[in-house]
Amino acid sequence: MNILITGCNGQLGNEMQLLEKVNPQHTYFNTDVAELDITDPAAIETFVNENQIDGIVNCAAYTAVDKAEDNQELCRLLNTVAPGYLAAAVDKRGGWLIQVSTDYVFDGTNHTPYTENEPTCPNSVYGTTKLGGEKAAQQACSRTMIVRTAWLYSTFGNNFVKTMIRLGQEKPELGVIFDQIGTPTYARDLAVALFAAINQGVVPGIYHFSNEGVISWYDFTKAIHRIAGISSCHVRPLHTAEYPTPANRPHYSVLDKTKIKQTYHIEVPYWEESLKECILQLIKRKD
């Protein structure tokens, strides 16, 4: 197959490129904004047709959750409108689309893991525009697979893990929110799951993917510091109210992964094992 990867310079896009090397049966077109403007429907259609694209993995998005509150139009363009353009172009060729979405489509009032068929209720611009992207993609292409994920981190770009390591090395004390509960996702593991779908055949529908387990941001930070060998920084728990942000965040966003595990026969790693792997890769990179 000829597969278009958008947002190739992001966390997930970079991980997808690494895994392309061990999935050489397909031809990949890795693009970011310099190679393809996903807000330009004519440019997308030309690219898809000229390169005979069979499938698209859309890793591109506006992900600055707090900035989104003041940049609603740009956020809507990238997260809602663009997925519809991509879906429409690949649909004309009879192809498929994998649209990466987020736990922010829920308001976080659950106390048990969210399944794919539960009603959505985003309470931020980011969450609202990502839900809009899900719907736009599904309406434009019946062969769309939506994959919602959460708390994404990797060795690439800016993310919570790298920030907590840096701050832990720089500061004697940190305050981290303890009353927001979810599950971290190592972007490498998400990329492995997406390749399982690609290689087995994309089954349309909505799926949830994160690592296994449940944790708070506070406990996650404590684990990051322990694994990274940081002992000089005192981490104290904060209530959400003590750390106000422009965008609302779900207090509980644990995702039920039963559907994706059963459909594609995959095992999902426990969050701490994946965190250890990521930090090991970061240490190796420094060496």
pLDDT tens per residue across span 213-253: 999 999 999 999 999 999 999 999 999 999 889 999 999 99
Alpha carbons 269 and 114: distance in angstroms, whole number:
19
Q: Which residues are catalytic?
A: 126
Residue 5 near residue 19 (C-beta atoms within 8 A): no
What is residue 43's predicted lDDT score, i.e. its pLDDT? Answer: 97
Q: Tell me the pLDDT tens digit for each residue of 141-180.
A: 999 999 999 999 999 999 999 999 999 999 999 999 999 9
Question: Which residue carries 């993917």 as its tokens?
Answer: 209
Does pLDDT of 275 surpass 70? yes
Residue type, 226: R
Alpha carbons 55 and 48: distance in angstroms, whole number:
9
Alpha carbons 244 and 118: distance in angstroms, whole number:
28
Q: Tell me the pLDDT tens digit for each residue of 85-141.
A: 999 999 999 999 999 999 999 999 999 999 999 999 999 999 999 999 999 999 999
Cβ atoms within 10 Å, residue 88: 19
Q: Cα dist. 8→1, 50, 56, 85, 98 in Å? A: 18, 19, 12, 18, 14
Residue 113 near residue 255 (C-beta atoms within 8 A): yes
0.75 cut: is pTM over it?
yes
What is residue 107's predicted lDDT score, i.e. its pLDDT? Answer: 95
Q: Tell me the pLDDT tens digit for each residue of 47-67.
A: 999 999 999 999 999 999 999
| DSSP element (H, E) containing 3 | strand 2-6
Beta-carbon contacts of 261 under 8 Å, excluding residues fewer than 6 positions away, are 267, 268
Q: Cα dist. 98→34, 79, 207 in Å? A: 21, 14, 10
Alpha carbons 33 and 40: distance in angstroms, whole number:
11
What is 182-233 written as a DSSP string? E--EEHHHHHHHHHHHHHH----EEEE---BS-EEHHHHHHHHHHHHT--S-
Dihedral sign computed on CA atoms, order 240, 243, 244, 247: negative
What is residue 287's predicted lDDT score, i.e. its pLDDT? Answer: 63
Does pLDDT of 211 surpass 90? yes
